[in-house]
Amino acid sequence: MYGRYNEYRLVLVGGVVIESAGKRILLVDDDVLQREMLAELLIIAGFSLHQSCNGIDALSALEQHKFDAVITDVQMPSMDGVTFLVEMRQRNHAIPVIITSSSEAYKTAAIKAGAAFFVLKPSSADRYAELLRRVLDKS
């Protein structure tokens, strides 16, 4: 499901100005509550959004749509976030990925697999907004 699409928008989210300008974000998390909370922030910020509940569904979405960045959880059924990132890279999807987890134990594997950032849950809206701004400024 896609959120609102805006042609041009600068918004203040959690104290950080983000240029959302129609940027498309793929949000991957099996925890519906976590996914919906972050989705709300991204939609309010004006991002176009697609949600997936695991890595397999997310890979399918990547084949069907163009995204500017991915935010994915690590621990998910069917395919975890690190495996999903590895599969993305093997399929030549070079978009930036922010990996999130409630356990620091996955940080090294996530960064080694090519994650732009690793975010320990729970994290604030400020943190996600800042990291999205940073990865989107680079791409």
Query: Is pLDDT of 2 > 90?
Result: no
The pLDDT score that the predictor gives to residue 40 is 86
Please tell me whether residue 45 adopts helix, strand or coil conformation: coil
Query: Is pLDDT of 97 > 90?
Result: yes
- pLDDT 10s digits, 15-51: 444 455 578 999 999 999 989 988 888 887 778 889 9
The pLDDT score that the predictor gives to residue 9 is 43
Q: CATH number of the domain at 10-108, please?
A: 3.40.50.2300
The pLDDT score that the predictor gives to residue 122 is 87
The pLDDT score that the predictor gives to residue 89 is 96
The pLDDT score that the predictor gives to residue 75 is 95
Q: Which residues lie closer than 8 Å to 122 by C-beta, 6 or more apart?
A: 102
- The Cα 69–Cα 57 span in angstroms is 16
Confidence grade of residue 72 (pLDDT, cut at 50, 70, 90): very high
Query: Is pLDDT of 125 > 80?
Result: no
Query: Is pLDDT of 64 > 90?
Result: yes
Task: Determine the length of the chain.
Answer: 139
Confidence grade of residue 123 (pLDDT, cut at 50, 70, 90): confident
The pLDDT score that the predictor gives to residue 49 is 87
Query: What's the token pair of residue 121?
Result: 């849950």
- The Cα 46–Cα 4 span in angstroms is 6
Query: Is pLDDT of 14 > 50?
Result: no
Backbone angles phi, psi at 82, to 5 degrees: -70, -45
